[in-house]
Structure 1
């Protein structure tokens, strides 16, 4: 029942405002400083980290995912709460989850096998890793989440720490956090917009979505505000996070193996409307 908006012109915020409620029960209005769980808007941040690693010659987008993760034990994936250890490879763990009827999102792993197919980092970054790699676009947040472990394998550091060190702190995104954890400012957590759903009568009901879940992946998990997201946007425009060349690669529509342009670049949706490129 609430939202926040920020509009930029050039590198300046020319309008920012909240509308509706961040908390209906307590009559707390949304403002331009209201933190939200930004879900899949985490993906462009992960893409920026990956392109930084490419620029540092620590990662090749066309490396096979199985090679990048060959020395990694795959940590728990989203909604995977079973303890596991000692698997021969991350790809083996993925195959096991595909056939685990108790894993609630196993269907998202269908038509995917990084042991038998040449699936690269680029395929994950562009949502083209299912079926014949590179042939089609199929949005898949779970497979994008694997890039969490790619960042960690290439950098030797925790994904969360990389976000803070390379993006959040340098840009002074003071109301942005990589998920819920002990380091989240308690006031920011208190200010977070609550999740709602609408009932048949059109009234907002507090959702049972567990917004206190602390996991952070390349696909989702960050908390931020529109003003902090504006800082990220400006930094990209000014090439403060990645080079102009890397940015253009991120903002260029992926070509399928058939040559057909797809609606996604490297971590960003890319469309053309009436001759205008939309990112």
Structure 2
């Protein structure tokens, strides 16, 4: 059932289901609606991958990892239409609630929870370089977590797009939406791999890949499915498009980006920030690729 739905290009990021249902196939039958669902049991939004992990359905989870699609402009347009249809210039507080709801649907988390709101209230003024005395001395360390870092970027980009839509300002909106899609794809990748049902211990982090490959068969099974998905997406990049893979975040943040510069060449850029590295320096590797088909 799950395989058939995936083969029909079911959306693996946006879905509608009720977590009270016990039959996973019934959950998946709602995927075609392309709308996230609010789960009243845990007061948050859940993606298909999150649901499969929560219910322990490993075979379905493997399929979703392998076939997870990238978010699209059409899906974003549905969010903007929903917001604009309910927007009321005379009710600022209601509009803020509506905005938080719209962003929460994209992020699969409640950005109105006390901790998240405090983090956002600290980081967003910092990003905008707002010198507000009420924010001085507050810690920005939460921004080093990949999911929070991306959530704040997505929140800010959505705010910019919504403001432009409301004011009918189309200047640079296509560029901003493209950046939003890029960040959403990276975010869905991050929150997806965090759900691999294998406990990654500290000793494992220091093991060689060959050791992990020989001792962690289940983990390798998931890695192969995720890698297959990434390779497929990189091959499908248009010229000048880029795909970013964040890695190594626990001890030292590293991002590896693949940018297609022609039908046969990619540039691989390794962003490896460190006090030991000169600023604005990236290692670039030219890669010749042979694409099947």
Q: Same fold (TM over 0.5)?
A: no
TM-score, length-normalised on structure 2? 0.29
Q: Which has the higher contact order (CA 8 A, sep 6+)?
A: 1
Larger Cα Rg: Structure 1 or Structure 2? Answer: 2
TM-score, length-normalised on structure 1? 0.30
Q: Which has the higher helix share?
A: 2
